[in-house]
Amino acid sequence: MGGKEQEIKKRKAVAKSCQTLDGWVNKKYREDRNECLPPDLEEQYANQKKDENPDHGCPEAKYKLLAIQTNTIFYFYFFLFIGNIENFEGSFDNTITDPGKIALAIYGGLFAYGGWNYLNYVTEELKDPEKNLPRAIILSVPVVIIIYVLANIAYFTAMSPEELLLSNAVAVTFGDKLLGPMAWIMPISVALSTFGGVNGLLLTGSRIYFVGARQGHLPDAIAMISVKYKTPTPSLVLTCFLSLMYLLSPNIITLINYFSFVTWTATGTSIAALLYLRWKEPNMPRPVEVNLLLPISFLLACVFLVIMGIYAAPMDTLIGIIITLSGVPVYLLFVYYIDKLPTFWRDFVYKCTLVAQKLFVVVKEEKED
């Protein structure tokens, strides 16, 4: 993916995870339970009388494996032994077939499974990545899919669709119904898991900035590493700051729409580049190679998501484009034209780099011969 698009993706992912963490930690103490509902559900929640059928409920935390493993146990108890299946009757009644709304619903689902590709960003720190990277993805993705699917079946088994849509945190509501006095386990478990997810996003996201700066796409200061810990401290601080900026967005669904448009545009572009290189450079070394049908089908899926996302949420798409383009002046002023700009500007950039070095005790990475 392009450097700028990857940066935006990582910042938004961290911001959304932090929003989720805050929501789970404070779930038991908030009075305003409808703050995370889609706009078409706010009136329904206030009146408690209308029966709406929106596309989806409030997005849940991305990193729930610890809590979800508990849920699957109750799934087997409810579904297999008691046979409580009335909530599945008429599951596809009044199904919405608008392609644009389907794409927006898929955005939320893909966000939940978004961690599958994060390991790609730290391949420099993996041992034998040609073997271990595919192994990690092949082993982890099916496990996550199975757990998530079982967890969602457990939710639908224990709760009606109306309860799911009105819940500000589905797993907490699930725990309240099934765990009794031990219901506090759910928000605590998910909050801890989400906190770990934020930690992982900071680890991988900072490497994107670091490599981008090392390749000359970002200011030199971001390509520096800590003398003591050998970590890209300026990049980590930048990731943290920009993620906090994204927390200014009050609506997590809108934030997902920004994020998803940029993500799938960049992903589709990178897959198109892969196909181009397979055609123009057939003999290029490829440590990991797959059948062409996989990237072609993946590219078609990306095109669908981007086009339908524009159709269904044009304003969110426009804001995503503006956020992406905001990196252009930064690149021109701090990288591309740095040697052609007035002396005072070059001195300013140099002093900023020097301050960063002193503040974080960082230096440029030593290149191996």
Cα–Cα distance measured from residue 75 to residue 89, given in angstroms and rounded to the nearest whole number: 17
- Residue 72: the pLDDT is 55
- Residue 59: the pLDDT is 39
- Residue 276: the pLDDT is 94
Cα–Cα distance measured from residue 359 to residue 246, given in angstroms and rounded to the nearest whole number: 25
- Residue 280: the pLDDT is 92
Under the phi-then-psi rule, with left for phi > 0, alpha for psi from -120 to 50, and beta for the rest, what region is 361? left
Cα–Cα distance measured from residue 284 to residue 19, given in angstroms and rounded to the nearest whole number: 43
More confident of the two residues 2 and 244 = 244
Which structural domains are found in the chain, ordered by start?
A: 3-364 (1.20.1740.10)
- Residue 158: the pLDDT is 78
DSSP assignment of 21-76: HHHHHTGGG-S-TTTTS-HHHHHHHHHS------S------S--HHHHHHHHHHHI
pLDDT one-digit tens code per residue, 134-144: 888 888 888 88
pLDDT band at residue 347 under the 50/70/90 scheme: very high
3-state secondary structure of 364: strand
Of 1-10, 83-92, 317-326, least confident by mean pLDDT is 1-10
Q: Classify the C-alpha dihedral 211-61-111-326 as positive or negative.
A: negative
pLDDT one-digit tens code per residue, 96-111: 788 878 887 888 778 7
Listed in sequence order, the DSSP H helices in 215-326 are 233-246, 252-280, 293-312, 314-325
pLDDT band at residue 79 under the 50/70/90 scheme: low
Are 78 and 157 in contact by the 8 Å Cβ rule? The answer is yes
Cα–Cα distance measured from residue 263 to residue 6, given in angstroms and rounded to the nearest whole number: 7
Burial of 334 (0-12, 13-18, 19+ CB in 10 A): buried
- Residue 37: the pLDDT is 43
For 55, the token pair is 């596309």
Are 187 and 320 in contact by the 8 Å Cβ rule? The answer is no
Are 301 and 93 in contact by the 8 Å Cβ rule? The answer is no
